[in-house]
Copies of this chain bind each other. A is one copy, B any other.
């Protein structure tokens, strides 16, 4: 089956077509995402309370459920020009390999040194920190993509950057750590002896290799305790989805340029930043009743917050120092099984996406990791890009949907988010090649135990 190639392999927008405003999907949501709550009083967090942790303008963005468009400051637009627009790729080679009538596109966010879409929000958060006259920011990182992105952004604006890196990643991924050092960041393995919460966790769980929730607690403690510092986060928050809307806006502009309308939009979902960004303008049309897309969130079967979690208020971190967020969650002390290698390890899901999912505006599926790596390897071989394990969740479902089209003969148009590259994830690929990867999935009993520890919020 030969494929007609009227559309380029890679659609690049012009530099002057990069969006100049972010799109705030909350403005179009009838049911707004639930507010963050003070963990002590269970009352909605005020701007003032949030301002102790986050930068002022980011707090405003976090709380803004009304303004549909937020201008992108010129300095951020300039930085975007260093690596954006990112290409929208027509996956001709994958289509040929699958012999599917489906038309497959992917938005590739990996062509920058952080290796993922995370840079889109990192540069925004660093900008507002600089604008506020801060000395620096603190954050956590797991696999290291967010930490790298933030290091790059802070280096650009001359800000200090303190990264708490989940200890197991710190030890297993020395190269990620070294990239962050190249950009001048300080990287501390978490849990550490440098914070109260770190010492407490170490005392309670000697020998722990850490978790994202624990690293968040340490980063927040340091931000709150050091004048001139604030905490920044790479996913989950409303503000992050806002910044990541640049992915979806570019995707839509590129498709519109060629008169292409997608039938299905697919993204991997950990905290939700990539998926939320990719789908935002399409979801906007859907919310306004203008179009009807199928939107699919893909998560690991070993960390299934949407498909097997509950929609409830929960802690965002292990140390319980952060506000409570209403989200699909597995419980704040849930940690995926040690053999899980595909990223997307966060216990909860963005409040915006949680609300949209609860409202039936999008679907969710979970996939076992060996099938994810099978898709990753096939994709690498035919499309020439070695994908991040995270991104490969979306590849898996895109392939599955394309194969359904092959059965039915439907010429559906699929778009998925290829969030990044897997160059720092070769340990996971090695596990896969050597047959050392299993598909452990938490039992209902295990999940019930975590769920039983959710905070009681009226």
Which residues of A are at the interface with B, using a C-beta cutoff of 8 A? 8-10, 12, 14-15, 79, 81-83, 93, 111-113, 115, 152, 155-156, 174-175, 178-179, 181-184, 377, 380-386, 421, 423-424, 426-427, 429-430, 433
Contacts and interface: CB of A to CB of B under 8 A. Distances in A.
Contacts of A12: 12
A182 B386 contact: yes
Given A79-B384, A115-B423, A181-B429, 20 more contacts: A8-B14, A9-B15, A9-B81, A9-B82, A82-B383, A83-B384, A111-B111, A113-B380, A152-B381, A152-B384, A156-B381, A175-B175, A175-B423, A175-B424, A175-B426, A182-B380, A182-B381, A182-B386, A183-B381, A423-B423
A384 B82 contact: yes
B155 A381 contact: yes
A10 B81 contact: yes
A427 B174 CA distance: 9
A377 B180 CA distance: 11
A381 B157 CA distance: 10
Interface of A is mostly: helix
A426 B178 contact: yes
Contacts of A381: 152, 155-156, 182-184
B112 A384 contact: yes
Contacts of A175: 175, 423-424, 426-427
Nearest to A377: B182
A377 B426 CA distance: 24
Nearest to A158: B381
A397 B15 CA distance: 29
A385 B182 CA distance: 11
A179 to B, nearest CB: 6
A199 to B, nearest CB: 28
Nearest to A11: B15
8 contacts: A10-B81, A82-B384, A83-B384, A113-B385, A152-B384, A175-B423, A182-B377, A182-B429
A315 B90 CA distance: 46
Contacts of A14: 8
Nearest to A79: B384
A179 B81 contact: no
A147 B152 CA distance: 30
B386 A430 contact: no
A433 B185 CA distance: 12
A337 B192 CA distance: 39
Nearest to A386: B113
A220 B423 CA distance: 30
Contact of A174 (B112, B113, B152, B426): B426
A334 B115 CA distance: 37
A81 B91 CA distance: 11
